């Protein structure tokens, strides 16, 4: 026998109140229910070194599941910066809601300890990516959009220039739009508090993807003939689309195969040297479905398509 209707209504009202409370801790929102990403720490860019130094001087700290860290990891890999910047991967601790080092780093067991040791505000969230200086014993920068610019200009023995001058204007246009409508847009869908907030975010997300598909029908990369930071910014979101954002955040209006130029772009990007080594689909799904309790209370990690099916061949129904 089904439970009495008054009990169902009471349970739903209580759960909705709890959900709003939990979502407030997960991601803040404005009065209209739109998700607003909290500001980060360490946003000022440090000066570039005069030459590529030994790898023990600087450390890039990333997490496997974080798309913002993924973009920095991609630039580090594509520009072959391993000889001058070490890479350290932190792991999520869902029970504590923080990133932890596999082995103590600079005397710290967790990233929040390193933040506080570097002088951050006690209430500041500790996020990845983070560029750390061993010589200065502090975190230099954590804002991912600025960090990838720094890594692109870092002295390197090889690797592409991801800010070609003749594509600069178009690259900046795409970076600005993607940051709001796509990279942050999937979170605005998933963390929306109201139907109207979700509708606004979802509409902007797919309008941007449709426009990106149109641009890629005219050129191999988003802003022209060469790979740029605009492409770097888009890839971490799109490689997670079917695996995380469509099922968990409700970003499912169109399967990507219906945007064939974008599908082919993702396949070509994934095939670039070093890119596959930055992709960890099992970690993405485990961390998102297992950790975001307000969005997925059961903690059950559903099956998803193998990554190989998303990055091989051409788009097809």
Contact 126, 110 (CB under 8 A): yes
All domains in the chain, ordered by first residue: 58-153 (3.40.30.10), 167-311 (1.20.1050.10)
- If pLDDT is split at 50, 70 and 90, which confidence band does 19 have? very low
The per-residue pLDDT of the chain, averaged, comes to 89
Residue 313 CB partners (closer than 8 Å, separation 6+) = 267
> What is the spatial distance between Cα 127 and Cα 252, in angstroms, rounded to a whole number?
27
Q: How many Cα atoms sit within 13 Å of 132 on the Cβ side?
A: 26
Q: Residues 47-61: what's their mean pLDDT? A: 74
What is the reported pLDDT for 246?
Answer: 97
What is the reported pLDDT for 17?
Answer: 40
- Tens of pLDDT, residue by residue over 141-189, are 999 999 999 999 998 878 899 999 999 999 999 999 999 999 999 999 9
Strand order of the β-sheet with 130-133 is 108-110, 98-105, 85-93, 58-63, 130-133, 138-141
Residue in the structure block whose two tokens are 């992709």: 279
Q: Are strands 108-110 and 85-93 parallel, antiparallel or unpaired?
A: unpaired
Residue 178 CB partners (closer than 8 Å, separation 6+) = 208, 212, 230, 233, 234, 237
What is the reported pLDDT for 262?
Answer: 98
- Tens of pLDDT, residue by residue over 247-283, are 999 999 999 999 999 999 999 999 999 999 999 999 9
Residue 67 CB partners (closer than 8 Å, separation 6+) = 183, 236, 237, 240
What is the reported pLDDT for 15?
Answer: 46
Residue 18 has pLDDT above 50, yes or no: no
- Tens of pLDDT, residue by residue over 203-252, are 999 999 999 999 999 999 999 999 999 999 999 999 999 999 999 999 99
> What is the spatial distance between Cα 98 and Cα 317, in angstroms, rounded to a whole number?
40
The candidate with the shortest Cα–Cα distance to 157, out of 53, 24, 63, is 53
- What is the secondary structure of 7-69 as a DSSP string? HHHHHHHHHHHHHHHHHHHHS-B-TTS-B-PPP-S--SPPPPPSS---TTSEEEEEESS-HHH
What is the reported pLDDT for 317?
Answer: 54
């Amino acid at each position: 026998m089904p439970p009495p209707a008054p009990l169902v209504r009471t349970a739903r009202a209580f759960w909705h109140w709890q959900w709003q409370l939990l979502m407030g801790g997960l991601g803040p929102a404005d009065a209209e229910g739109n998700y607003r990403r909290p500001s980060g720490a360490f946003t000022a860019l440090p000066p570039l070194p005069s030459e590529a130094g030994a790898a023990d001087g600087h450390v890039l700290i990333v997490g496997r599941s974080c798309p913002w860290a993924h973009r920095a990891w991609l630039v580090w890999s594509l520009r072959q910066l391993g000889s001058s910047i070490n890479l350290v991967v932190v792991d999520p601790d869902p029970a504590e809601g923080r990133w932890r080092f596999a082995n103590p780093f600079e005397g710290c067991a967790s990233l929040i300890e390193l933040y506080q040791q570097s002088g951050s505000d006690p209430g500041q969230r500790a996020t990845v990516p983070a560029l750390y200086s061993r010589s200065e014993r502090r975190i230099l920068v954590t804002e991912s959009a600025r960090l990838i610019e720094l890594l692109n200009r870092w002295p390197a023995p090889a690797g592409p220039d991801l800010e070609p001058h003749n594509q600069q204007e178009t690259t900046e246009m795409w970076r600005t739009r993607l940051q709001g409508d796509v990279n942050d847009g999937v979170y605005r869908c998933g963390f929306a508090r109201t139907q109207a907030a979700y509708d606004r975010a979802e509409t902007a997300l797919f309008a941007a993807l449709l426009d990106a598909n149109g641009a890629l029908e005219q050129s191999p990369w988003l802003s022209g003939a060469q790979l740029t930071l605009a492409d770097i910014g888009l890839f971490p979101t799109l490689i997670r689309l079917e695996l995380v954002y469509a099922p968990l955040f409700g970003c499912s209006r169109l399967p990507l195969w219906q945007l064939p130029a974008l599908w082919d772009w993702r396949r070509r990007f994934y095939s670039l040297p070093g890119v596959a080594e930055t992709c960890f689909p099992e970690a993405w799904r485990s961390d998102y479905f297992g950790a975001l309790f307000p969005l997925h209370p059961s903690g059950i990690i559903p099956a998803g398509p193998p990554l190989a099916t998303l990055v091989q061949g051409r788009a097809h129904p």
